[in-house]
Chains A and B, each alone.
Chain A
Amino acid sequence: MTKKQNEIDKISGVQTTGHEWDGIKELDNPMPRWWLIVFYLCIIWAIGYWVVYPAWPTLSGDGERGGTEGSQGWTQYKQLKEAQAEIVARKAVYQGRFDQASYAEIKEDPSLYAFALAGGKAAFGDNCATCHGTGGAGASGYPNLNDDDWLWGGDIDAIEQTLRYGVRSGHDEARFNEMPAFGSFMDTADIQAVADYVYAVAHGEALPEAGEAIFDEQCSVCHGSAGVGVQELGGPKLADAIWLYGGSKSDIVAQIRNPKHGIMPAWDGRLSDSTIRQLTVYVHSLGGGE
């Protein structure tokens, strides 16, 4: 680029800027008028924007989060608050009715039922999904809430009770029951025999006599005779296809020898009454509710 004296371009009759690149000269055409108008309008718009919206940071920290307030007093914080208030207001249409209604009434009212499921699903994702999975399918050691096998009962009141006070949670009302560690006082042969018996019960096979006596003596109090389970005590049903800690023979032996016990926290006081009730309806709806 070489700087040259300005001159008039012969072809277009426009003055050049004096800039030249490889023989090509830059013309000094004025900005198109429409472009200038748009440019000035933008400047005016920007000034208007400063006035109307919070725009300038100030040392004094005026305005909601520091800075000028803007003539309309609009801020994103206010907008967020309003949007949240709107959600609460929208929920309020059902919330009052939901809180008054019994579970039976909720089940009969499609709008309340949908309200409970929506709220319950959100609360489930926030609080329960960590252990029970986002779909409630559980995992080894964490009960599957979709199936029809309920340790402490699967009707809606039993579910609410479990949810509210937890299992082995330390709460006064908590469900509590622990299986003793038979490994500390039963010899290996007996444990093996009773495990064989439990396995046969679960798979509907011919029951081995060896384990039966031990089972009746040691296990039937909680697991019921022939392993039908005792829900009032949280005694798992053994005569079915569902196993919390695995159903293979070695899993069963391990559980007899030194059983694992899960803990479900008490949600009473941590979640609102309404949320607990929504969760109850949601869990009951997963498919296994009795």
Chain B
Amino acid sequence: MTDTAAPLKLFVKKERIFPKRVWGKFRKIKWLSMVTLLGIYYLAPFIRWDRGPHAPDQAILIDMPARRAYFFFIEIWPQEVYYLTGLLILAAIGLFLVTSLLGRVWCGYACPQTVWTDLFVWVERIVQGDRAKRQRLYQAPWSFEKLWKLGLTHSAWLVIGMLTGGAWVFYFNDAPTLIEQIVHLDVPWSVLGWIIALTLSTYVMAGFAREQVCIYMCPYARFQSAMFDKDTLVIGYDELRGEQRGKHKKGESWEGRGHCIDCTACVQVCPVGIDIRDGLQMECIACGLCIDACNDIMHKLELPPDLIRYDTPHNQECRKEGKPEYFSLFRLRTFYYIAIMTVVGGAILFGLLNRSETELHVLHDRNPMFVQLSNGDIRNGYDIKILNKTQEDRIFSLSAEGLTGLTLKAQGAGELDAGSLLVFADSVGHFRVFAFAPKPETTRSDIRFVLQEKETEAREEYETLFVSGKQ
């Protein structure tokens, strides 16, 4: 290092990006994707699904107080939350599969960060005008115009933030009831807290953080290149055709120069503020807006489109070497991903189809372990839990086997009979049961509780022990 070396910059201050408006095929896909995804997000909690009188009628509901989760015909109890794990694995591998085939289309079109940022930029543009106007406003000193424009933008952002962030709570509460509560400003504090937190996070993430989330915070941006290979679609600038770039006057010949006129349209529309002509970059979210912008210019210049386009590194290579191009959809990694998804999906399906509607749990008393009765018999106490996952009240008969002379007696309020235990719909029946037997030869014996549904063939067994103390 010499004395004259420029000081090293370790931290770059955030540069504000003002994406320019653009029309085209990919912009259309983005609008469509935004409307579809937001539509699903808002409307899904309002879909009804009749589950009878014992369960809520919301198709998609995570009922925290009652410890139940509903998804259309599926009902999940807390101990079955592993289905969620399966879903998350499916989502992750699905993302890998799509990424290896089509590149970062998730980032460009479907990621919530992208969708909401897009929405916020749209609001910004409606209030403040397009790129140049926004830039001027940003640099202008404070004035009444700047104040009301920025005020309106931020208010609109907050309202959208509230509407979008706020919608999350409908997945955890009965949506129509909650909306009524909100209208009457009678919202429970727990719900209000979530609405405020999600409103602010939407406002901050989509209003301010924007591309910084993709560049600095998103873990997926870090490892998505691991799913890439030479046949993955990425957005590429056709260097062969574009260079030498340079300004072009109308009527001039295109001989001996590239088709890129260095108009920077592709840079101006980019939501992450990169120049795609520098090659594939980590920041690129593959949204395709630069393609739309460039094609618009090419159309005006009456040149063929797709100077920038979705392409594979392999094809880019082939073109340089003058070989024919081709696109291969099926690669080894595609099959791996599909295979994993099939296995996980199959496991979930198998689990759901074979989900038992009845469960029996038996807990042997520890204090005391056993009781000797006056006639010399031994009595053991048990806590019995019977899970009735159906939507009907059911009557079960409980019996025990494995020891001669073993009998059961249920204990509790009212007249209880172990041979006839009522468990209400969609709930856990909790019973105390005593088992009696003449003192066995052994100090402890293995016995088996058998639960039989009165009307159907449903049958559950539970192995437990019968303690009888020293001989």
Residue positions of A touching B, CB distance < 8 A? 10-14, 107-110, 112-114, 133-137, 144, 146-149, 237, 240-242, 285, 287-288
For the complex, what is the distance from the CA of A119 to the CA of B277, rounded to whole Å? Answer: 76
Q: Which of A10, A108, A144, A149 contacts B414 (CB 8 A)?
A: A108
Interface string of B389-430 (1 = CB under 8 A from A): 000000000000000000000011110000000000000000
Say whether, besides A11-B7, A241-B376, A287-B379, A137 and B368 are in contact (CB < 8 Å). Answer: yes
* Chain B residues within an 8 Å CB radius of A134: 367
Q: Which of B381, B412, B413 has the most CB of A within 10 A?
A: B413
Interface residues of B in 1-17 (CB under 8 A from A): 1, 3, 5, 7-8
For the complex, what is the distance from the CA of A108 to the CA of B5, rounded to whole Å? Answer: 91
For the complex, what is the distance from the CA of A234 to the CA of B466, rounded to whole Å? Answer: 32
Q: Distance in Å from the Cβ of A67 to the closest Cβ of chain B?
A: 29
Which secondary structure characterizes the binding site on chain A? loop
Q: Distance in Å from the Cβ of B386 to the closest Cβ of chain A?
A: 16
Can you sample 29 A-B contacts with CB below 8 Å?
Answer: A10-B5, A11-B1, A11-B7, A12-B8, A107-B414, A108-B414, A112-B413, A113-B413, A133-B368, A134-B367, A135-B365, A135-B367, A137-B367, A137-B371, A144-B368, A146-B371, A146-B379, A147-B374, A147-B379, A148-B374, A149-B374, A237-B374, A240-B376, A241-B373, A241-B376, A242-B373, A242-B374, A285-B411, A287-B381
Closest residue to B434 on the A side, CB-wise? A287
7 more contacts with CB within 8 A, not counting A110-B412, A135-B368, are A10-B3, A110-B413, A110-B414, A112-B413, A137-B367, A144-B368, A147-B373
Residue positions of B touching A, CB distance < 8 A? 1, 3, 5, 7-8, 365-368, 371-376, 379, 381, 411-414, 434
For the complex, what is the distance from the CA of A237 to the CA of B376, rounded to whole Å? Answer: 13
Q: Which of A11, A107, A135, A136 contacts B413 (CB 8 A)?
A: A107
How many residue-residue contacts, CB under 8 A, span A and B?
68
For the complex, what is the distance from the CA of A184 to the CA of B5, rounded to whole Å? Answer: 113
For the complex, what is the distance from the CA of A79 to the CA of B129, rounded to whole Å? Answer: 55
* Chain A residues within an 8 Å CB radius of B413: 107-110, 112-114
Q: Distance in Å from the Cβ of A18 to the closest Cβ of chain B?
A: 19
Say whether, besides A11-B1, A12-B8, A287 and B372 are in contact (CB < 8 Å). Answer: no
* Chain A residues within an 8 Å CB radius of B381: 287
Q: Distance in Å from the Cβ of B432 to the closest Cβ of chain A?
A: 8
Does the CB pair B375–A241 fall under 8 Å? Answer: yes
Does the CB pair A113–B8 fall under 8 Å? Answer: no
Q: Which of B367, B368, B376 has the most CB of A within 10 A?
A: B368
For the complex, what is the distance from the CA of A285 to the CA of B1, rounded to whole Å? Answer: 87
Q: Distance in Å from the Cβ of A5 to the closest Cβ of chain B?
A: 17
* Chain B residues within an 8 Å CB radius of A11: 1, 5, 7-8
Closest residue to A287 on the B side, CB-wise? B434
* Chain B residues within an 8 Å CB radius of A287: 371, 379, 381, 411, 434
* Chain B residues within an 8 Å CB radius of A107: 413-414
Does the CB pair A10–B371 fall under 8 Å? Answer: no
9 closest A-B pairs (Cβ-Cβ)?
A13-B7, A135-B367, A240-B374, A137-B368, A113-B413, A110-B413, A146-B371, A241-B376, A149-B374
Does the CB pair B371–A147 fall under 8 Å? Answer: yes
Q: Distance in Å from the Cβ of B103 to the closest Cβ of chain A?
A: 34
For the complex, what is the distance from the CA of A108 to the CA of B69, rounded to whole Å? Answer: 34
* Chain A residues within an 8 Å CB radius of B376: 240-241
For the complex, what is the distance from the CA of A242 to the CA of B379, rounded to whole Å? Answer: 13
Q: Which of B365, B367, B371, B411 contacts A144 (CB 8 A)?
A: B371
Q: Which of A110, A134, A136, A146 has the most CB of B within 10 A?
A: A146
Closest residue to B371 on the A side, CB-wise? A146
Say whether, besides A108-B414, A109-B413, A137-B368, A148 and B8 are in contact (CB < 8 Å). Answer: no
* Chain B residues within an 8 Å CB radius of A112: 413
* Chain B residues within an 8 Å CB radius of A13: 7
Q: Distance in Å from the Cβ of A229 to the closest Cβ of chain B?
A: 9
* Chain B residues within an 8 Å CB radius of A288: 371, 373
For the complex, what is the distance from the CA of A136 to the CA of B8, rounded to whole Å? Answer: 77
Closest residue to B11 on the A side, CB-wise? A32
* Chain B residues within an 8 Å CB radius of A240: 374-376
* Chain A residues within an 8 Å CB radius of B7: 11-14
For the complex, what is the distance from the CA of A108 to the CA of B411, rounded to whole Å? Answer: 12
Q: Distance in Å from the Cβ of B372 to the closest Cβ of chain A?
A: 6
Q: Distance in Å from the Cβ of B390 to the closest Cβ of chain A?
A: 22
For the complex, what is the distance from the CA of A256 to the CA of B381, rounded to whole Å? Answer: 35
* Chain B residues within an 8 Å CB radius of A144: 368, 371
